[in-house]
Amino acid sequence: MSDMGDMKDMKDMKEIPVVDVNIGEKEYEAVLKVLKSRYLIEGKNAREFEQKFAAFTGTEFVSSVMNGTCALHLALSALDIGPGDEVITTPFTFIASSNSIMFNGGIPIFVDVDPHTFNIDPQKIEAAITDKTKAIMPVHILGNPCDMKLIQEIATKHDLKIIEDCAQAHDARIGGTHVGNFGDIGAFSFYGTKNLVGGEGGAVVTNSEELHEKIQSLKNHGRNPKGGYNHFQVGYNYRTTDMSAAIMNVQMDRATEILARRHRNGELYRKLFAEQEFLQLQSILPEHQISDYILAPVINDSKILPSEIITYLKSNHISSRTIYSILSYEQPAYQNIDQYLMARVVDYPDYCNVHCPNAEYIARHHFELPMVSSLTDDQIQYVFDTVMAYFQGS
């Protein structure tokens, strides 16, 4: 472990970031090539990306889309989730997960998380199932795969669909199989903070040709594959641009390099934090591989506020923040759900009465540490030493 003298030397360096996009000359050149071609709409680069991402995830079909939220909405639409249909999901996630359910008039039903994995607790899902339940949306939060074996068993038992929210889960795997293969449809994001980026950008994956064809039509105003001005269903404009696709295309070529560094960072952090008693890191289930997207320890002592450690870290040139400190059902939009347009025709629950104790504790007591691919081993050691100096001195 570094001594405080080493830490002082580190303070002379620039702030260690929680967000640092891994792009370079190849991405610049790819975008410039698209601009010079003057063909900016979804095209050649998108098709190449889809092929590469299908090979990477091991899925049969991939549709490139504008972003991860579009991917979720398309998944729900393709599975005919509509007004009054209930979809069980987690409250500890970015609000796009539950918002996408509501776009078509679906009803998010929030189930508490496992206090160790931070993912939706499969043991609590069945109690939330009603005759209106149509699907389960597990979110592989911070890139940690959910217990998909149990969730699949529940879905099969109750004839429910599964939409995997894989927005944060590039290279998250279970028994070697990439997430997105365990449900009917998987939705990925390539937002500018993700392990693999496109600025904006997303992908919908499935192993069903029927669902893929429906998604392809829905994302393109309900057209058939021939295009033109015949529209066979009410659809959306969720196509991506070939500029974003060009970036994603290059990122797939560099995926092994980028993700290997993420995994190395995660392994080093987990090794360093293994013996301390102040913080709880996400538990990773056997045969599960986390994507190492975000490291967000939870403080065991409820009297210590995340804002205190965040301030301390920033004073030592380490960027930090909370992420989902306000759960989805606690957001003003949900607390005032009667103001939502679809509430005119859908009887939403009173989200003011929803409580998920485990999720609420995690939301109130976590903070983020740098996990970006540009980190050096010395920086990770410094981050750990600084965190330990705070807790041992508090």
> Residue 163 in contact with residue 184, Cβ under 8 Å?
yes
In the three-class reduction of DSSP (H, G, I as helix; E, B as strand; rest coil), residue 241 is classed as strand
Name the active-site residue from 134, 194, 214, 219.
194
In terms of residues, how long is the chain?
Answer: 394
Q: What is the DSSP letter of 113?
A: B
| Residue found under tokens 């069903």 | 208
CA 200 – CA 194 distance, rounded (Å): 10
In the three-class reduction of DSSP (H, G, I as helix; E, B as strand; rest coil), residue 172 is classed as coil
| Residue found under tokens 């199989």 | 177
Which CA distances in Å does 360 have to 2, 137, 297? 35, 19, 14
> Residue 212 in contact with residue 226, Cβ under 8 Å?
no
The sheet carrying 107-110 orders its strands as: 61-65, 202-206, 185-189, 161-165, 133-137, 86-89, 107-110
Beta pairing, strands 133-137 & 86-89: parallel
CA 382 – CA 376 distance, rounded (Å): 10
Q: What angle do CA 252, 254, 260 make, to 5 degrees?
A: 110
> Residue 18 in contact with residue 321, Cβ under 8 Å?
yes
CA 337 – CA 294 distance, rounded (Å): 30
> Residue 215 in contact with residue 206, Cβ under 8 Å?
yes
Of 66, 87, 91, residue with least CA distance to 74: 66
Q: Among this protein's residues, is 44 annotated catalytic?
A: no
| Phi, psi of 80, rounded to the nearest 5 degrees | 60, 35
- Catalytic residue annotation: 194
